[in-house]
């Protein structure tokens, strides 16, 4: 297309227009379809600014008026975890996906798809409720007595803080889950006569039997190493011992490769594996 002429090569890094190929879907259970959009190039763009332009013009490259593309975003600086999508085949945050870099790798077009392991709500928006449910499954919190003033917390060594801080930066974006071969999509629809609450219960039951995910395993390890958090260590290990827990991990190590925060997820998984083994043996002998 444009890449062959010398003129185009000269302007390759500063094209006038950017072609965007977007996988759209009007709602849950409906067929998906590809659509091409074209937006004007500006310096320092990211995928978010492309999508903002797409929303403002609401016209395909063929000039057909369409509804704006739906997507999710928040902080635009890679700390909130909202804007995860599959960009040129890789799951990542769209705010930190810089257009100049994407065009270096593929000057023809930028391809956007929704995450593959979560039900599509619309276009690039998915339902990541399951991800938060996993945090509840592993009781990812410190069980303090309450919120009255009880003085300072426990003293913590610098070494422990430096081990824990990276884990506590997990922003629940879901990249690790989308890339994981053991984490499969669960998509349940409202059945006739079923209430929203009944559907949620049915979903939770399904979630509870499926793989909990690298992010939750890592959070379990974070709270199991906290001086007060570890008072519930056995409850967390029990959760990880269940089906869909630690043994569901196939050790593909994709999670750590795609984590935008470089969280040592596989280290957490290895720690969890050892802890669950010790816990199971102890439990066996304590019977």
Partner 1 sequence: MAGKRVVVVGGGLAGLAASMKLAELGVAVDMISLTPVKRSHSVCAQGGINSVSDLTRQEGDNEWKHFDDTIYGGDFLQHQPPVKEMSYWAPKVIDLMDRLGVTFNRTPEGFIDRRRFGGTLYRRTAFAGATTGQQLLYALDEQVRRRESEGMIKKFEFWDFLGPVLDENGQCVGAVAQDMVSMEIRSFPAEAVIVATGGNGLIYGRSTMSVFCNGSAASRCFQVGGRFGNAEFIQVHPTAIPGADKLRLMSESARGEGGRVWVPRRPNDTRYPKEIPESERYYFLEERFPKYGNLVPRDIATREIFNICVSEGLSVDPSRMCVYLDLTHIPRAELDRKLSGILEIYEKFQGVDPREEPMKIFPAVHYSMGGLWVDYEKSADGGLLIGSPKNQMTNISGLYAIGECDYQYHGANRLGANSLLSCIFSGLITAPGIVSGMQSKKSTDATSSSVFESAVARHQARHKALLANQSGNENPYLLHQELGDVMTRAATVVRENRQLQEAYDRALLIQERSKRCTLTDTGNWSNQNVIFTKAFQDMLPVALCILKGALMRDECRGAHFKPAFAPKSLSSQDPTERRKEAEVWCDRFEENNSRFLKSSIATWKAPEPEIQYEAVDTSLIPPRPRLYGLVGAEAIEQVWNERTKNKNQHQEVASERRNPSPVG
96/267 with CB nearer partner 1: 96
Q: How far is the CB of 284 from partner 1 (least distance, A)?
A: 28
52/116 with CB nearer partner 1: 52
- Structure tokens belonging to residue 21: 């190929």
Task: Convert 188-205 to b/e letters by CB count within 10 Å (16 or more is b).
Answer: eeeeeeeeeeeeeeebee
DSSP-based three-state secondary structure for 17: strand
Q: Whole-angstrom distance between the N-terminal and C-terminal Cα of the chain?
A: 71
Cα-only R_g, the chain:
22
**Which long-range contacts does 142-147 make (Cβ < 8 Å, 24+ apart)?**
142/223, 142/226, 142/228, 142/229, 143/228, 143/229, 143/231, 143/232, 144/228
43/89 with CB nearer partner 1: 43
Q: Is 66 in the site for partner 1 (CB under 8 A)?
A: yes
120/272 with CB nearer partner 1: 120
Could you give the CA distance from residue 271 to residue 212 in angstroms, rounded to a whole number? Answer: 16
Stretch touching partner 1 by CB under 8 A, among 108-116, 159-167, 208-216, 277-285:
159-167
Q: How far is the CB of 240 from partner 1 (least distance, A)?
A: 17
Among 79, 87, 199, 257, binds partner 1 (CB under 8 A): 79
Stretch touching partner 1 by CB under 8 A, among 31-39, 40-48, 106-114, 247-255:
40-48
Residue 72: its H or E element: none
Q: Is 287 in the site for partner 1 (CB under 8 A)?
A: no
Q: Is 238 in the site for partner 1 (CB under 8 A)?
A: no
111/127 with CB nearer partner 1: 127
CA dihedral (256, 259, 262, 268) positive or negative = negative
Instruction: Tell me if 68 sits within 8 A of 54, measured CB to CB.
Output: yes
Among 18, 103, 126, 171, binds partner 1 (CB under 8 A): 171
Stretch touching partner 1 by CB under 8 A, among 13-21, 90-98, 208-216, 250-258:
90-98
Q: Is 58 in the site for partner 1 (CB under 8 A)?
A: yes
Paired residues of 98 in beta bridges: 46
Name the nearest CA neighbour of 131 among 185, 202, 55.
185
Among 18, 20, 38, 46, binds partner 1 (CB under 8 A): 46
Q: Is 161 in the site for partner 1 (CB under 8 A)?
A: yes
Stretch touching partner 1 by CB under 8 A, among 15-23, 130-138, 176-184, 208-216:
130-138
Could you give the CA distance from residue 74 to residue 133 in angstroms, rounded to a whole number? Answer: 21
Could you give the CA distance from residue 134 to residue 185 in angstroms, rounded to a whole number? Answer: 14
Could you give the CA distance from residue 230 to residue 222 in angstroms, rounded to a whole number? Answer: 9
Q: Compute φ and ψ for 232, nearest 5 degrees.
A: -110, 20
Among 21, 60, 61, 70, binds partner 1 (CB under 8 A): 70
Among 6, 89, 151, 193, binds partner 1 (CB under 8 A): 151
Q: Is 199 in the site for partner 1 (CB under 8 A)?
A: no
Q: Which residues contact partner 1 by CB under 8 A?
A: 26-27, 42-46, 48-49, 52, 55-56, 58, 65-68, 70, 73-82, 95-96, 98, 121-122, 125, 128, 132, 135-136, 139-144, 146-147, 149-153, 155-158, 161-162, 164-165, 168-169, 171-172, 223, 226, 228-229
């Amino acid at each position: 297309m444009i890449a062959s002429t010398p003129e185009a090569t000269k302007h390759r890094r500063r094209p006038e227009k950017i072609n965007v190929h977007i996988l759209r879907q009007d709602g849950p259970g409906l067929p998906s379809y590809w659509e091409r959009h074209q937006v004007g190039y500006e310096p320092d763009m990211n995928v978010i600014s492309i999508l903002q332009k797409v929303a403002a013009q609401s016209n395909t490259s063929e000039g057909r008026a369409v509804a704006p593309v739906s997507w999710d975003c928040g902080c635009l600086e890679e700390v909130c975890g909202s804007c995860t999508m599959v960009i040129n085949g890789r799951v990542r945050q769209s705010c930190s996906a810089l257009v100049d870099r994407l065009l270096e790798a593929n000057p023809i077009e930028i391809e956007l798809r929704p995450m593959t392991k979560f039900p599509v709500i619309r276009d690039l928006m998915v339902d990541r409720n399951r991800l938060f449910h996993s945090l509840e499954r592993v009781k990812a919190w410190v069980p303090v007595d309450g919120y009255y003033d009880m003085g300072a917390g426990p003293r913590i060594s610098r070494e422990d803080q430096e081990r824990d801080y990276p884990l506590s930066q997990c922003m629940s974006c879901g990249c690790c889950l989308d890339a994981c071969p053991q984490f499969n999509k669960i998509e349940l629809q409202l059945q006739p006569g079923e209430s929203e609450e009944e559907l949620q219960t049915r979903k939770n039951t399904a979630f509870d039997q499926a793989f909990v995910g690298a992010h939750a395993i890592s959070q379990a390890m974070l709270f199991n190493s906290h001086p007060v958090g570890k008072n519930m260590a056995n409850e967390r290990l029990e959760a990880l011992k269940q089906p869909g827990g630690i043994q569901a991990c196939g050790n593909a190590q994709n999670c750590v490769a795609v984590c935008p925060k470089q969280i040592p997820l596989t280290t957490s998984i290895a720690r969890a594996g050892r802890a669950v083994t010790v816990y199971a043996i102890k439990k066996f002998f304590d019977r």
